[in-house]
Amino acid sequence: MPSKILVVDDNEDILDLLELFLHQDFSVSTAQNGFMALKIALEVKPNLIITDLMMPIMNGEKLIAQIRSYPEIQKLPVIAITAHIDRFREKEIIEIGFNSFIKKPFTRKTIYEEIRRLI
């Protein structure tokens, strides 16, 4: 049975691209904001979450805080993806609970390297 990955981004093109990259090797669920993602994560119990940081309704920072507060999903590895990052922000992303981050634009190879490192 393939590992389950939840991809969260408000940009449908990014969701489609990540699903295209991952669907052959993983069972992929998608959500367009953190609120939807939290509901899906609690239902599906993915092996890993990849989430954008800047989204409407519930952004990636609020999502990670919520994930870490639920015992059944708090240990899930979570990768942040963002176009807006600098050295200070890199450190902050890890400190608030993300396991890793990927800068946009990204490649399929970059995504796979991080996934394999975390699951």
Q: For CA atoms 10, 44, 18, 61, give the dihedral sign.
A: positive
Q: What is the pLDDT of residue 83?
A: 80
Q: Which CATH number belongs to the domain containing residue 45 in this structure?
A: 3.40.50.2300
Domains of the chain: total: 1
Q: What is the pLDDT of residue 44?
A: 97
pLDDT in tens, 45-104: 999 999 999 899 999 999 999 999 999 999 999 999 988 766 557 778 888 899 998 988
**Which residue range(s) make up the domain with 83?**
4-118
Distance between alpha carbon 35 and the CA centroid of its chain, in Å? 13
Q: Which of 77, 81, 34, 79 is nearest to 58 (CA)?
A: 34
pTM of the model: 0.93
- Which residue type does 41 have? A
